[in-house]
Every structure is written in structure tokens, then in C-alpha cells.
Amino acid sequence: MNSDVKELGSVSSGTTGLEETVGQSQEEDPSFDEVVPPFNQSNFLLGSLHSTRFRVQRPFQVIVERGPDGFVAEIRSIKEFGAGDTWSEAIRNLQRAVDELAAELFAERDRLGTDLSETLRILEAHLTKVW
């Protein structure tokens, strides 16, 4: 595994996965959601969508960039992103976006064009449908 890439098994409102990076938990600091990695871009593997519809079987490579208006988390292979005022909010929004995209593409698979069929193929390599 690339040393610049961290594996993040899950991100939820209760934990951001930053405990290892910043060495503190939400219980220790109520403003934890505002704590971000000390850099403008981070790469990691996203291993959970917190979805009742899909389970991640192969983690997604995610890039999070910090900009003047907040954070953008992106999975470039499927051209999907989530934005937010905080690092955690961007990740949560990305998880929701991937869940919605996957649900729509799985449901409409017979009507997809070439580009969306390729996106569905990538999603199928990463996700298992549980509903």
C-alpha cells in the first residue's frame, strides 16, 4: 500500500477516522469535527458508505482537498464528490452521493449509456448490494 494512503474503514457522525492523525477523540474535544489533517490534500481508502443498501467489498480511493470554501472529497474513478464545511462533512456527503448513485445505476442498468455503464462496472467491483 502506498505510504501516502491511509485506510479508513468508516466515517460516521460519531467518528471521523482522524483519531490516528490528530491523536484525540470526539469525547476529548467537542470541536473535533473542526479538526482536520494539517495539509491541503489527503488520500485514503474509504471502506464504508454507512448504507443499508450497499456494503463496500473493495475500498474506494478518495482524495480530499481543502479549498477557500471548505472541503471536497472525491472518488475520481466514478467522478463522484461530496463537499462540506468540514473534512468529516465532505466525507459523509460523498458517502451519501455514492450510495444514491449506486442505487440509481443498479436500478436503471438496462437503460444506461456507455459512460454510466462504465461507472456501474466500477461500482459493482467495489460494492455488494444488500437489499
pLDDT at 12: 36
Residue 25's contacts (CB-CB under 8 Å, 6 or more residues apart) are: 15, 19, 32
- Report DSSP state, residue 7: E
pLDDT along the chain (131 residues), means of 10: 46 38 41 54 90 96 93 96 95 97 97 97 96 69
The distance in angstroms from the start CA to the end CA of the chain is: 32
Contact 109, 89 (CB under 8 A): no
Asked if residues 56 and 49 have their Cβ atoms less than 8 Å apart, the reply is yes
pLDDT for the residue 41: 74
